[in-house]
Structure 1
Amino acid sequence: MALFKKKKDSDTNDIIAELDPAVVKDGTIDTDEVMRKYDKESNTRIWEGVPKIVVTAFLVLFSVYCICMTLLSTEQAEARLARFLAFIIVIGFMIYPARKTNHRVNHIPWYDIVLMLAGFGAFMYFAMNCTEILLMGARIEPIHVALGIIGILVLAELCRRCVGLPIIIVVACLVIYAFYWQMTSSSNADFYNSLRKVVQKLFYTTSGVIGTPINVCYTYIVLFVIFGAFLERTGIANFFISLANRIAGWSSGGAAKVSVIASALCGMVSGSSVGNTVTTGSVTIPMMKKTGYKPEFAGAVEAASSSGGQIMPPIMGAAAFLMAEYIGIPYIEVATKAIIPALLYFAGIFIAVHLEAKKLGLKGTPKSELPTIPYLLKNCYLILPLVLLVWLVASGTRTMAASAAISIAGAFIIGFINFLLNSWRERAEGESFGAVFMETVKIAALMVVDAFSAGAKNTIAVAVACAMAGMIAGCITVTGLASTIINVIVLMAGDFIIIGLIFTMICCLILGMGVPTTANYCIMASTCAPILIQLGIDPICAHFFVFYFGIAADITPPVALAAYAASAIAKSRPMATAVNATKLGIAKFVVPYIFAFSPILLLVGDNVTLPAVLLNTGTALVGVFGLQCALTNTLFHHHLNPVFRIILAIGGLGMMIPGTVSDIAGLVIIIGMCTVQYILSKKHHSTSALSDETSNTDALPKLNDLELDETVTDNS
């Protein structure tokens, strides 16, 4: 086999042709197939024709119902939440099949209809007889016990379909434990009475499926999910990508930097690590590979950046609203406190891709080919709904629900204006404004239907996962298991808080595997955050700590769904992509420890002043730089000596550990290593230049026109 072969020009189609045939259709990336493979929420039934119209109409009506009920209803909370879950079960079984491979068109099996009606009947019965059942307390009758069991089992099956097994396994173990605890906690407890009490707690009280998580989902999250669906359809994603291209596309390895910025901006709106990875990755990953990045690195950049969208203010994938409810502070405070940690995280990825680009000698896109500033200014009105939302929430003049509803209306207006302008620019010769306007009305109407439909679909998995999270919290609270876990970890940690933090981190990474962000945080807030609070960590820092590590599960092997989805597009090794994503997202593993010991990064504490915040942010940023140099194995365009890598990592961690002594020591180490590496790189350049002058290059093939054979490169 020849060692060299002629280089040929490649374009996007060449890159796409390299992809797994399973994710390629008609020469383009089939993002739907990737989503179905790696994202439970996208494994949906296929409806066409009249059935599709009926299903879509039901989804639209459900979204409108949620908005109206949230804004206008004064009904008892238990009744509203039970009815909400009844409708969720109906649309859930209409959308999600029992198996991943069951994609027959316009088909729903009889057993799904039976499950749908049984679950709907159980929750609707509770909603219609809410007051009577609540007055019974623990004396509910056998019919109520049977309906409660049916409702819980049907909800669990729907959760298996749209969320996955991990959360079901956790819930099942805790329910069994709750039943065992109920049997053994009383001397005269029998099987039926124990079962009745468990069902009553988990189904008919706010300590179970209709607990805090589903209440927050119904009150806030549904509206913001619908808002996100409207925002995506206004064309804001394309604007974000264009903006990212203008900001960073011209620099070394600009394609990867564009991916970082675009994924951060789009991710905060979408709220799904896998969804954001596939949506933006279908554009950015082929672009990165074409630039010269290895497939594993390109996929890792997209996965790490997309999983960070949920920590990016102001929306933060809707989990910020849950956090505000759990901590008891206004939402705008949560978004404000999240700014510095999010910037540190994305700065770490940005530094890593820059170092990799310099090492590989990659160039950026010529400025003449980038979106122009006038173009961006002309389209900057697309972000107005987002600005409106932030202003309404920050001003406090409206409730959260009202702010979301007004922002939805604003997104529709902006979308209509965008469609009208585009239609006018692309109009046929001689076409009147009236004809263009009427065509825009049709497009806008379809956009509204599509957005309401997508919002309802996206709500299903979040609502079901929140209901399961409520059961987890209920089992832990009722049985006293939370206190037991806390006492064990506190006892094991002793006076060393770091040990408790490490144990909590491991719990978060395990419990967060394959679970959507919102439900992920609900589980962490119920199980892990109290542990840290008991250890003496500030409650705000404790909740941010578990939030970060719960999300980190999306890029952490062995269950790194965002990384695996990116690897399908990049045609890379899944585990290698996940490992690279973990290295790129190292800040997500280090920054939580920083604000656990130094809350000033979250703007918490009595010593929060501008100089102190800037100093702590600066030292943390230098520390992230040192760590990324060590992990990417490059500085000043050259590989690092293994000893230098270890020393740089120590220096980076020293800069990130709160304290003047550690900061000074870390700074001295990093400056020293940078100086030594700079001198060595200069010496290397001088030696290389001298060698080039004295060598006879005429007899060798020109490497500018040749490249290594891929098989040989892979084997090496």
Structure 2
Amino acid sequence: MASDKTWEEEENNVKGVEYAQKLAEAEHGLQGDFAGVTRNLTLIVAISWSLFQLSVASWLIVDTVFIRAAHLAFAIFLIYTNIPTFKFTHNWRPDLRFFLAMHRVTILDYILAVLAVFAAVYIILDYEGIAMRIGNPTTRDIIFGAMLVILLLEATRRVIGPALPVIAMLFMAYSFCSQMSFMPDVLLQKAVSLNRFVGQITMDTEGIYGIPLDVSATIVFLFVLFGTMLEKAGAGQFFIRVALCLLGSFKGGPAKAAILGSGLTGMVSGSSIANVVTTGTFTIPLMKKVGYPPTKAAAIEVAASTDGQIAPPIMGAAAFIIAEYVSVPYIEVVKAAAIPAFASYAALLWISHVEACKLGLQGIPRRELPPFVATLLSGLHYLLPLAMLLYELIIVRHSPELAAFRAICVLAVIMLVQHPIRAWRTGQALRPAFMLGVREIVRGLADGARNMAGVAMATAAAGIIVGVVAMGLGGLITEVIAVLAGDSIFLLLAITALASLLIGMGLPTTATYIVMASLTAPAIVAVASLQEFFVPIMAAHLFCFYFGILADDTPPVGLAAYAAAAIAEGPPIPTGIQAFMYDIRTAILPFMFIFNTELILHEINSWPQGLLIFAMACLGNFAFASATQGWFIARNKAWEVPLLLAVTFILMQPMNVLPALGNIAAQLVGLFSDAPVAYHWAAPFHPYWFYLLGLALLVGLWLLQKPRKAQDEASVGTRQVTINPLAGEGRP
């Protein structure tokens, strides 16, 4: 009976992993079973796409518009030839199966693919003619432009769902109907003509071929390819094993290892769902075996994987678009994101420790863990491509695309030689080992291109929205948002955060960021300036970026939570809720760096000062996490929670402590007097002295809870697991 149960559990786990992998494919790439002509054609086109992008980054000099058009053509062809029009079951209306292509790609999809490619490269085929008649398109231009918009939106629907195409169509409809009598007065403006729409959206660099698609074609592709090839080489499992060796013996060690491993993997994958599937298949069962409930094990993995997109140096596709929109080198985006990202991960490690204390869990005995030095040496070569990437980005300050290209070259050499070296050491044949490396490189090139299909569609379709906004809607939206927010920066930030979470439920992170940044980032800066409050444009864009990422685990739609729950064999909605509760410590960071720009190192160029800000941000985030989780070093009492929140505010907003106290005093005086009272306190000393106050409060809370620590831990009991982490077997 026991063996049958074990077999059934293993079968369910395999099904959960397969389901999670399908969700990961649905986020960025292509779904479906490839066979025959489709499989071979997909392989050839995908490899050709990767080689084209590598050539553009190294030796091939091509006009930037040509690169964008070719990038879009490759992506749209792969989508139409691999994803059917509808995805129904085989037995649904068999009489209509042929016409609707419900479960397989048909000749109709191939025809659409060819038409879509011609529409995408039309700007290349008649580039000189289009340039000569800007603003006055011919009938042929309008036909190809309309065809591109329609086929692009349909391809986007196939690969990432209907949300983004619907939003784009609403913006398009508004651009044509903005002068109609039924429109509200606040939204009235001159309608756009068909000629102007087609010219700007499909034949200019302010629409489909705009900045988002340019970044996707020149930078994002190479980083996605780098992450895919790094995973094919085996780096993902290496990161997890190293993390387990370092942290596995601590209290709740497998969870801490999952966080560190997912962070390392997420820095190069740039996808929360792919990160869950890559690392979660190993870490989630391990966390369950040491005592974490399935919901919490999955939620920890979701929170760790989601934050991978905000962790430098890669940070996902949207970070590169931020650099283009803000017009700064990418290294400046990395600098701005560093403290919030690492403080968020540090707080998640603290949360995993708190959960281990609340559950009475211990770590894996050190004797059960593999030796750290041997494990590190076994995969030390995987760090060489990352070192090359960081050297190119930080030391010599080369462009991101050149840095990624050189890192890929180093990685390809490693993939080519690692198996022959292992075979030589063990006395095995060298030729099969060499061919294995070649196959891994080929699969990496193909899978990297397939993983880019969704990103390319998201950026191209979002370009339609950006183009409509650029036609005059942008300034109008800024005014409307300012009116809705009542000139209150707090209300505006709350509206932006909520809208990002809602839109992000149906859009990929990149598309969510593009839409929200186009609509609200200028408004945040403008409304703040009206209140004589300075918000750097970088902070406004990072604010939109963070909440677009958090939508990945926001119930009821967060796909990362569904993927993790499938692996953990737990319920997806409670997993999403639990993951969101863990991610609240990330959600406060955008609000904090809006009001304290030192957290994004704005005009901070001193290493000691930066490290001090980082340390205080970590401690402040620890205090907030303890307040929301109900446990510091012991179970919180009700009156301790406000003190923890006060510590959070003091350590993250030291320059706003006196103004806040002044406002509180003014409110108190106002209770006893009708005369208006305004306090404008000027600090007689540097605001950093308030760090001492925050630290004193934190130490005081620690001393207060210390006598209760043993009693609270005894009340939950302890559990230690003897486990072989590499074999995946354990016993309590």
Aligning the two structures, in what range does the TM-score lie when normalised by the shorter sequence? 0.7 to 0.9
Give the C-alpha shift of residue 390 in structure 1. 1.4
**SS in structure 2 at match of 1:554:** helix
Does 2:406 correspond to 1:406?
yes
Is 1:65 the counterpart of 2:64? The answer is no
Matching residue of 1:559: 557
Q: Which residue of 2 aligns with 1:173?
A: 170
Query: 1: CA distance between counterparts of 2:708 and 2:423?
Result: 59
Deviations 1:467-491 (A, max 9, x none): 011111111110x222122223334
State the SS of the aligned residue for 2:367: helix
The 1:14/1:250 distance shift into structure 2, 3 A limit, reads farther
What CA distance in whole angstroms lies between the structure 2 residues aligned with 1:232 and 1:105? 33
- Quote the Cα distance in structure 1 between the aligned partners of 2:111 and 2:279: 39
Question: Do 2:86 and 2:102's aligned partners in 1 also have CA atoms closer than 8 Å?
Answer: no
Q: Give the direction of change, closer, same or farther, for the CA distance of 1:546–1:610 in structure 2 (3 Å limit).
A: same
Which one is further off, 210-219 or 391-400? 391-400
Give 1:285's aligned residue: 284
Aligned match for 1:483, one of 447, 472, 475: 475
Contact 2:322/2:333 (8 A) holds in 1: yes
Any conservation in 2 of the 1:508–1:549 contact (CA below 8 Å)?
yes
- Partner residue, 1:34: 20
Q: What's the counterpart of residue 89 of structure 1?
A: 76
Q: Cα distance, 1:73 vs. partner?
A: 4.0
Q: CA deviation at 1:150?
A: 1.3
Name the structure 2 match of 1:298. 297
Structure 1 residue 460 displacement after superposition = 0.8
SS in 1 for 2:134: helix
Once the two structures are overlaid, the 10-residue window that deviates more, 115-124 or 416-425, is: 416-425
State the one-letter code of the partner of 1:265.
L
Structure 1 unaligned runs (5+)?
A: 1-7, 693-701, 706-716
Structural mapping, 1:467-478, within 5 Å: 467-478=460-471
Q: How does 1:429-578 map to 2 (within 5 A)?
A: 431=428, 435-436=429-430, 438-478=431-471, 480-493=472-485, 496-534=488-526, 535=528, 536-578=534-576
Once residues 685 and 632 of structure 1 are traced to their aligned partners in structure 2, the CA distance between those partners, rounded to angstroms, is: 15
1:73-126 per-residue CA deviation (whole Å, 9 max, x = no partner) reads 444333332233222211121232333456999942233123212212222333
Contact 1:228-1:269 at 8 Å conserved across structures = yes
Q: 2:65 aligns with which of 74, 78, 83?
A: 78
Q: Distance in 2 between matches of 1:366 and 1:494?
A: 58
Matched with 1:361 is 360
User: Counterparts of 1:15 and 1:276 in 2: how far apart (Å)?
Assistant: 27
**Contact 1:415–1:444 (CA<8 Å) still a contact in 2?**
yes
Query: What is residue 233 of structure 1 aligned with on the other side?
Result: 232
User: Is the Cα–Cα contact under 8 Å of residues 357 and 713 in structure 2 kept in the other structure?
Assistant: no
Q: What SS is found at the alignment partner of 1:139? A: coil
Q: CA deviation at 1:267?
A: 0.9
Equivalent position to 1:583, from 581, 584, 589: 581
SS at match of 1:322: helix
Question: Which residues in structure 2 correspond to 1:7-22 (within 5 Å)?
Answer: 17-18=8-9
TM-fit CA distance, 1:227: 1.6
Aligned residue type for 1:56: L
Q: Is the 8 A contact 2:87 2:103 kept in 1?
A: no
In structure 2, C-alpha distance between the alignment counterparts of 1:703 and 1:77, rounded to whole Å: 60
C-alpha separation between the residues in 2 aligned to 1:483 and 1:165? 27
Which residue in 2 is equivalent to 1:673?
A: 701
Contact 1:167 1:515 in 2 (8 A): yes
1:613 pairs with 2:610: yes
The 5-angstrom pairing of residues 177-256 of structure 1 reads: 177-181=174-178, 194-256=193-255
Q: State the Cα deviation string for residues 473-522 of structure 1 (Å, max 9, x = none).
A: 111110x2221222233345456422222222122222222422333332
Q: Is the 8 A contact 2:38 2:82 kept in 1?
A: no
Q: Deviations over 1:26-56 (max 9, x none)?
A: x635534323246343551212355423321
Question: Equivalent pairs: percent with the same residue?
Answer: 32
Q: CA separation in 1, counterparts of 2:30 and 2:7?
A: 23
The residue identity in structure 1 corresponding to 2:393 is: V
Tell me the equivalent position of 2:142: 145
Q: Distance in 1 between matches of 2:357 and 2:711?
A: 18
Q: Cα–Cα, structure 1 residues 368 and 280, in superposed 2: closer, same or farther, change >3 Å?
A: same
Equivalent residues of 1:652, 1:670 under 8 A apart: no
Instruction: Please give the per-residue CA displacement for 1:260-304, whole angstroms capped at 9, x wherever unaligned.
Output: 001101111111111111221111111111110111111110000
Q: Tell me the CA shift for residue 248 of structure 1.
A: 0.6
Is contact 1:45-1:105 (8 Å) kept? no
User: Are the equivalent residues in 1 in contact too, given 2:301–2:564 (CA < 8 A)?
Assistant: yes
1:122 to 2:119 alignment: yes
Q: Does 549-558 or 303-312 show the bigger shift?
A: 549-558
Write out the 4+ residue segments of structure 1 that deviate beyond 6 Å after TM superposition. 13-16, 102-106, 182-185, 683-686, 702-705
Native 8 Å contact 2:29 2:452 kept in 1 = no
Q: TM-score, structure 1 length as denominator? A: 0.86
- Looking at structure 1, the residues matched to 563 and 88 of structure 2 have their Cα atoms a distance apart, in angstroms, of 18
State the AA in 2 paired with 1:174.
F
Structure 2, unaligned runs of 5 or more: 91-100, 184-188, 529-533, 661-689, 722-732
Amino acid of the residue matched to residue 147 of structure 1?
F
Structure 1 range deviating more: 244-253 or 581-590: 581-590
Separation in structure 2 between the aligned mates of residue 418 and residue 367 of structure 1, nearest angstrom: 29
Q: Aligned partner of 2:53: which letter?
A: C
| 8 Å contact from structure 1 (residues 273, 554) kept in 2 | yes
Q: Is the 8 A contact 2:30 2:451 kept in 1?
A: no
The answer (yes or no) to whether the contact 1:174–1:475 under 8 Å persists in 2 is yes
What does residue 629 of structure 1 align with? 626
Give me the TM-score of the superposition, normalised by structure 2: 0.84
Moved more, 42-51 or 372-381: 42-51
Count of residue pairs the alignment pairs up: 665
Kindly provide the amino acid, as one letter, of the partner of residue 472 in structure 1.
I
Structure 1 residues 495 and 44: CA distance shift in structure 2, 3 A: closer
AA aligned to 1:82 is A
Distance 1:201 1:245, change over 3 A: same
Instruction: Report the Cα distance in structure 1 between the residues aligned to 2:47 and 2:720, rounded to whole angstroms.
Output: 57
Q: What SS is found at the alignment partner of 1:354?
A: helix
CA contact (8 A) 1:48 1:105 kept: no
| Number of the residue aligned with 2:336 | 337
Of residues 116-125 and 102-111 in structure 1, the stretch that sits farther from structure 2 once superposed is 102-111
Residue 293 and residue 9 in structure 1: after superposition, are their counterparts in 2 closer, same or farther (change >3 A)? Answer: farther
The amino acid that maps onto 2:503 is L
Contact 1:597 / 1:658 at 8 angstroms: preserved in 2? no
- Of 176-185 and 263-272, more deviation after overlay is shown by 176-185
Rounded Cα–Cα distance in structure 1 between residues aligned with 2:5 and 2:315: 36
Q: 1:427-479: per-residue Cα shift (whole Å, max 9, x none)?
A: 4xxx5xxx31x22221121112101101110111111101011111111110x
Report deviation, 1:568: 1.5
Counterpart in 2 of 1:657?
Answer: 653
What letter matches 1:550 in structure 2? G
* Aligned residue in 2 for 1:641: 637
CA displacement at 1:207 relative to structure 2: 1.4
- What SS is found at the alignment partner of 2:178? helix
Residue 626 of structure 1 aligns to a residue in which SS? Answer: helix
**Is the contact between residue 82 and residue 105 of structure 2 (CA under 8 Å) also seen in structure 1?**
no
Q: Residue 354 of structure 1 aligns to which amino acid in structure 2?
A: H
The more displaced of 51-60 and 450-459 is 51-60
Distance 1:704 1:324 in 2: 47
> Which range moved further: 671-680 or 139-148?
671-680
- The one-letter amino acid of 2:112's match is L
Aligned equivalents of 2:57, 2:499: Cα separation in 1:
35
